[in-house]
Amino acid sequence: MKRKLEISELIFKILSYTLLCVFALCCLYPFVYAISASISGRSAVEYGSVVLFPKDIQFDAFKRMFSDNMFWNAYSNTLFLTLFGTIWAMFVSILGAYALSKKRLLFRKFFNFFLVFTMWFSAGIVPQYLNYLATKDVFNGIGITDDKWLVVIAMGMAAMNIILLRNAFEGVPSEIEEAAIVDGASEMQVLKQVYLPMTKSTIATVALFFAISRWNGYFWARQMISNTNEQPLQVYIRNILETYTDLEQLGGWSYNYAPDSIIFALIVCSIIPILIIYPFIQKYFAKGTNAGGVKE
């Protein structure tokens, strides 16, 4: 019986590892193909001869892309939205989660239910769009004409992330907080010196969620940012996809590469920052999700 269990366990591990390897390759292949297509020659890309490795290697697509001022302008806008959007969202989420984690909060159950209710039911895109337009009018009324700040402020909350932080804060032993209060710590000092250090894994995970959301943000950035000089990288890529049909529409770009090579080069450049940041936060990911997603 024991031998049969060992054999079945071995078969299960082999099948599991095989499926995981296949899944990992399926996820990795599009990125590898994008890199290969971005540095391959025009004929190789247009005739579909690029399958895995690049052919007729050239870097003209990247050179032309780097020489485009609109690309760097869109890249800087994306960095702005990601940096300040993440900071603002974390500020709102941490304060909200800290308050909701306190049993002494008046109407705590109602606020928690109201927060979860927004995850079940949504007013829809049109009411949300009208709400953003009203916010935009308020911003214009106080002299803020940069639409990027509208996206930063308006997208500054996510119910799921607040719940993750709230559950993590609830897991902090109350005895530690009581000891800090006895020592004369204020509410903000308790949050800064007790809760934040003890839940840094969840905080790092939620910050990663917000950063990826802001970096990949496309729909609302396109709807709310009317000035092309303020649009982020994702909108810039989409505009190129919608406007070009041949090489001439690319504004006289070099004939050494296919128009698709420009698109793939843009995709590669838009992915690289996340690939650089993710390994440093990955160690907090599983621990932070478990700490915030499981309530004792």
Residues 6+ apart with CB under 8 A from 174: none
Domains and CATH numbers, the chain: 2-293 (1.10.3720.10)
CA distance 281 to 273: 13
Tens-digit pLDDT profile for residues 110-124: 888 888 888 887 777
Tens-digit pLDDT profile for residues 53-97: 888 888 888 888 888 888 899 889 999 999 999 999 999 999 989
The pTM score is 0.80
CA distance 61 to 40: 9
Q: Which of 177, 217, 182 is nearest to 198 (CA)?
A: 177
Q: Which residue is it, tokens 């969840």?
A: 202
Q: What percent of the chain has pLDDT over 90?
A: 7
Residues 6+ apart with CB under 8 A from 268: 31, 34, 35, 38
Q: Which of 158, 160, 181 is nearest to 102 (CA)?
A: 181
Q: Which residue is it, tokens 């690049």?
A: 54
CA distance 184 to 278: 38
Output phi, psi for 52, to 5 deg: -135, -55
Tens-digit pLDDT profile for residues 15-30: 889 999 999 888 888 8
CA distance 231 to 211: 17
Neighbours of 258 (CB within 10 A): 22
Both structure tokens of 197: 């250090």
Please say whether the beta carbons of 236 and 270 come within 8 A. no
| Position 4 pLDDT exceeds 90 | no
